[in-house]
Structures are given as structure tokens and as C-alpha cells.
């Protein structure tokens, strides 16, 4: 199984600022994903982080708002740009290796004031 | 498109009793995987169990078992001998097995069931 760490675990940010969330996997994985979970809701996929190329964004999410990097097979970052209170959520990194299993990081709990 | 339905927003179970959390799904994919995750109040998503659509036997992992009924498109999670630490949100999810292009490999989640274990 893959062990995934995220930094920071939580943050309180002011409106209009940006936050970069880091995701580190303890082994090389084929696919990495970023999810958002708004308060009391289920998980929604933001994008698939592709190694060496641009991320693939889901409907309703754009690169200018959520730029993503994936420089190698074990690391990815998600930036939440120009934040507003509506961005207050848990952001979760997820990874899938060679097998079917898909694991999640501990999440980053973001509050925007 | 895939869809997961969890009809129980909340469930209560007595400690040491068994509980079943319902999950139905809809998909046009021939091959797919079904997942259950546990999310405690800390927010992390903990992988519990996986069932492949072509697996003939129901998956089991310790106290967790998946009651897979393909014809009914249901994948219910059974937790035996409930413990206080089982109190959490439980999410059913599914994903195609075969990659068919960008965006096709994502997990689709249900809305979740909040399980409360009573001492």
C-alpha cells in the first residue's frame, strides 16, 4: 500500500491570497489525483495530475484557479489561487499504483476568512 | 457516466452488533471496481475494501465484507462486531477498470452514510 503525506494539514487564509498544498507518496505511482470535499459533502475530483504534462481538469475547475504540478512520480502540488470563503474545504491528494487500490492522503483542511 | 447511491444518511448500531451500509450503483462499463472508504472526523479517507466486477467471491477484509449482487447493482458493506471506533462517515465509490482517456479513471463517490456506534 502507498503512504501519502500532505502539507499543510490545515491552514486559515485571508481572502485573495493563494495556498500551495504539497502531496508526497512513499513509492512511485502511475496516477495522482486532487479532490475537494466541501463541508458536509462528498468528494469531487478537481483534476488528474499528469507527470511531465499539464493536469487534466474536471468540469467546473480551471487551471488559473487550481494550478497543479507533478514533477515526478511521487510528488504533486495543488495551488488554490485568489481564495474566497467558498474555497473553504478539505483538499485531498490521492494516488493509484500498479494495482487497483487507490489511497488518499490525510487531507488539508482550508478555511478562508 | 457512473452513479453511486447511498440512501442512508445516518445509521445507529449497538456496539458488538453487525451493521449493513447500503450502496447501489449505475454504470455502462463492463469492467469496474467498487470501493468502500471510512472517513473519521479527522478527515482522512481510509481504504477499507475493494470488489472487482468480475470477482466471483465477495470481498472480505477482517471485520469488513462486501455483499456484492451484480444483477441488483448493489455493493453493501457489512461491518461485523461493531466497535466504538467504527463511528465515522462511510463512502461507497466506483471506477472503471480500464483506462479509456483523460478523466475516465476517476473515482465516483456516493454522498456517504454517517455511522454512529452506541455503547
Q: What is the pLDDT of residue B2?
A: 87
| Residue B17 Cα, gap to closest chain A Cα (Å) | 27
Give me the residues paired with residue A10 across strands: A109
A102 and B91 within 8 Å at the Cβ level: the answer is no
Kindly state whether B89 is in contact with chain A, defined as any CB-CB distance less than 8 angstroms.
no
User: Residue B99 — very low, low, confident or very high, per pLDDT cuts 50/70/90?
Assistant: low
Residue ranges in chain A whose pLDDT is less than 70: 98
Taking only the tens place, the pLDDT of each residue in B3-29 is 999 999 999 999 999 999 999 999 988
Taking only the tens place, the pLDDT of each residue in B43-53 is 999 999 999 99
Taking only the tens place, the pLDDT of each residue in A51-61 is 888 899 999 99
The candidate with the shortest Cα–Cα distance to A11, out of A99, A78, A100, A104, is A78
User: By the 8 A CB rule, do A33 and A49 touch?
Assistant: yes
Q: What is the pLDDT of residue B85?
A: 97
d(CA A33, CA B13): 34
User: Residue B102 — very low, low, confident or very high, per pLDDT cuts 50/70/90?
Assistant: low
Secondary structure element (H or E) that encloses residue A32, with its range = strand A31-37
Helix (H, G, I), strand (E, B) or coil at A1: coil
Residue count of chain A? 113
Cell output for B92: 461507497
Average per-residue pLDDT for chain B = 92
For residue B97, the chain A residue with the least C-alpha distance is A100
Cell output for A49: 495530475
Of A42, A45, A100, the CB nearest to B111: A42
A42 and B106 within 8 Å at the Cβ level: the answer is no
Give me the residues paired with residue B51 across strands: B34
Taking only the tens place, the pLDDT of each residue in B60-70 is 999 999 999 99
A48 and B35 within 8 Å at the Cβ level: the answer is no
B6 CB burial (10 A radius; 0-12, 13-18, 19+) = buried
User: By the 8 A CB rule, do B112 and A42 touch?
Assistant: yes
User: By the 8 A CB rule, do A90 and A109 touch?
Assistant: yes
Q: Is pLDDT of B100 > 80?
A: no
For residue B95, the chain A residue with the least C-alpha distance is A100
Q: What is the pLDDT of residue A31?
A: 85
Q: Is the dihedral of CA B40, B42, B48, B54 positive or negative?
A: positive
The DSSP result for B12-32, as a single string, is EEETTS-EEE--EEE---SSE
User: Residue B103 — very low, low, confident or very high, per pLDDT cuts 50/70/90?
Assistant: low
Q: What is the pLDDT of residue B36?
A: 97
Interface A-B: count of C-beta contacts within 8 A: 54
A106 and B44 within 8 Å at the Cβ level: the answer is yes
Q: What is the pLDDT of residue B104?
A: 57
Q: Is pLDDT of B101 > 70?
A: no
User: By the 8 A CB rule, do B99 and B32 touch?
Assistant: no
Amino acid at each position: 500500500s502507498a503512504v501519502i503525506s500532505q502539507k499543510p494539514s490545515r491552514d486559515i487564509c485571508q481572502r485573495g491570497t493563494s495556498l500551495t498544498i504539497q502531496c508526497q507518496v512513499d513509492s512511485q505511482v502511475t496516477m495522482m489525483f486532487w479532490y475537494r470535499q466541501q463541508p458536509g459533502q462528498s468528494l469531487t475530483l478537481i483534476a488528474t495530475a499528469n507527470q511531465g504534462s499539464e493536469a487534466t481538469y474536471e468540469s467546473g475547475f480551471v487551471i488559473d484557479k487550481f494550478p497543479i504540478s507533478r514533477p515526478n512520480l511521487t510528488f504533486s502540488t495543488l495551488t488554490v489561487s485568489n481564495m474566497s470563503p467558498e474555497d473553504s474545504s478539505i483538499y485531498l491528494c490521492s494516488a493509484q499504483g500498479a494495482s487497483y487500490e487507490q489511497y488518499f492522503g490525510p487531507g488539508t483542511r482550508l478555511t478562508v476568512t | 457516466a457512473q452513479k453511486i447511491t447511498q440512501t442512508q444518511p445516518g445509521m445507529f448500531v449497538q456496539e458488538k452488533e453487525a451493521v449493513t451500509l447500503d450502496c447501489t450503483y449505475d454504470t455502462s462499463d463492463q469492467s469496474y471496481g467498487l470501493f468502500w472508504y471510512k472517513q473519521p472526523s479527522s478527515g482522512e479517507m481510509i481504504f477499507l475494501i475493494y470488489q472487482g466486477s468480475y470477482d466471483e467471491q465477495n470481498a472480505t477484509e477482517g471485520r469488513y465484507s462486501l455483499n456484492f449482487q451484480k444483477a441488483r447493482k448493489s455493493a453493501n458493506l457489512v461491518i461485523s462486531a461493531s466497535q466504538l471506533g467504527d463511528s465515522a462517515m462511510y463512502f461507497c465509490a466506483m471506477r472503471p477498470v480500464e483506462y479509456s482517456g483523460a478523466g475516465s479513471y476517476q473515482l465516483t463517490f456516493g454522498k456517504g452514510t454517517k455511522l454512529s456506534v452506541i455503547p
